[in-house]
Amino acid sequence: MPPGQRPARSVQRARQEEDPAPRPVRGPQQEAPRRSREAPKPPARQGQAGPEPRRREAEPKLSSLESRILSFEARWWRASGAKTQAISDELELTPERYYQHLARLIDHPEAAREQPAVVRRLRAARDERRAAR
């Protein structure tokens, strides 16, 4: 097509016309069954009283401050001064307290589930600093 001309119909409209079949939508009556994280309990036997199975202790969830710190650290900064100022303004922490929270947070298993790429990057940087000593 020559420069400056637009196609007669949009790409999105062309895709819709190629695939006219509607996709199924899950409504409230068609929800998929939710899986439980606990192991299924074996059927109870009559006459036998055994020890209760141990339940896995739930790992503590991240606080709202910890979640905000992780999402803040996921952003990229061009200048360290801008990040330092943003720490004070957005999180209302001193940079020292911010980095103390962050150092503890990268070893938290829930943090690794919430922001895996950030936690891996921070752990690698920490390990590199420790190896340089």
Using H for helix, E for strand and C for coil, what is the string for the chain? CCCCCCCCCCHHHHHHHHCCCCCCCCCHHHCCCCCCCCCCCCCCCCCCCCCCCCCCCCCCCCCHHHHHHHHHHHCCCCCHHHHHHHHHHHHCCCHHHHHHHHHHHCCCHHHHHHCHHHHHHHHHHHHHHHHHC
pTM higher than 0.75 for the full model? no
Q: Render each residue's pLDDT in the chain as its tens digit; 133 residues.
A: 555 555 555 545 545 555 555 555 554 555 555 555 555 565 555 655 556 556 655 567 999 999 999 999 999 888 888 999 999 999 999 999 999 999 999 999 999 999 999 999 999 999 999 999 8
- Residue 11 confidence (pLDDT): 47
